[in-house]
């Protein structure tokens, strides 16, 4: 396998060097497609919300902000641990990297657990459901459910990345998978900022 030198020292195989930028562009296009998906649902929700009726509709209370705020802090904390996990990997501190990755995965799981508690409370106590609460219920559960699915996929992805790291798939010169995982996790954070704002704050 042909190798090339890199500015920071060391060598990396030619195929990886030739395709590194293409991989990044491809992954960014994937994130853009996800932005388009979420944006279409968000703009549809905002349009229907401002169609003239009071919001939330009569008989439906706004979801409580306390649990959502705690869940937000958990998710944003996982974004910080993911960022520092990547930085520690690039510096060669594998033990610190792996512990931060585990924390990111754990916080992601806690976020989903919090979302499950919120869904259960809304359904059984407040009688808010996807099919029985009109536009609000359909929009809330569709958008937050889509986001939760992305968090779940992200958790699976991070588990795979951690296992690959343990088996030596990545090193300090070849770590695109970890970069992609970090970008994806930050994307999940940004989407949640928007959803938290439109459903709980405004």
What does the pLDDT average to over 58-86?
A: 94
Report yes or no: 193 and 147 within 8 Å, Cβ to Cβ.
no
Residue 144 above 90 pLDDT? yes
Residues written for the chain: 202
So what's the pLDDT on residue 154?
Answer: 98
77 and 111 Cβ atoms separated by less than 8 Å: no
Please give the average per-residue pLDDT across 99-104, as a whole number: 98
Select the more confidently predicted residue: 126 or 52: 126
Query: Which has the closest alpha carbon to 170: 108, 83, 85?
Result: 85
Domains in the chain, CATH or no CATH each: 21-201 (1.20.120.80)
Q: How does DSSP classify residue 57?
A: P
Say which residue the tokens 């869940």 belong to: 71
Q: Which is more confidently placed, 70 or 134?
A: 70
Question: What is the SS3 assignment for 19?
Answer: helix
Q: What is the pLDDT of residue 7?
A: 47
pLDDT of residue 80: 98
pTM for this one? 0.89
**pLDDT tens-digit readout, 1-54:** 444 444 444 455 777 777 888 999 999 999 999 999 999 999 999 998 888 667
In the chain, how many H helices and how many E strands? 5, 2
Amino acid 10: pLDDT: 47
pLDDT the model gives residue 76? 97
């Amino acid at each position: 396998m042909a190798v090339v030198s890199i500015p920071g020292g060391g060598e990396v195989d030619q195929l990886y060097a030739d395709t590194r930028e293409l991989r990044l562009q491809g992954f960014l296009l994937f994130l853009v497609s996800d932005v388009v998906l979420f944006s279409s649902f968000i703009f549809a929700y905002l349009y229907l919300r401002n169609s003239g009726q009071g919001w939330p509709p009569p008989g439906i209370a706004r979801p409580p902000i306390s649990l959502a705020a705690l869940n937000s802090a958990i998710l944003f904390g996982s974004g910080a641990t993911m960022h520092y996990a990547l930085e520690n990997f690039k510096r060669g501190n594998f033990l610190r990297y792996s512990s931060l990755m585990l924390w990111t995965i754990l916080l992601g799981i806690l976020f989903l657990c919090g979302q499950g508690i919120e869904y259960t409370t809304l359904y059984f106590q407040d009688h808010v459901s996807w099919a029985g609460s009109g536009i609000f219920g359909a929009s809330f559960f569709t958008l937050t459910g889509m986001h939760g699915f992305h968090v779940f996929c992200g958790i699976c992805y991070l588990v795979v990345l951690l296992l690959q790291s343990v088996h030596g798939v990545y090193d300090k010169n070849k770590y695109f998978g970890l970069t992609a995982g970090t970008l994806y996790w930050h994307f999940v954070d940004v989407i949640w900022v928007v959803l938290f704002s439109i459903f709980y704050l405004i």
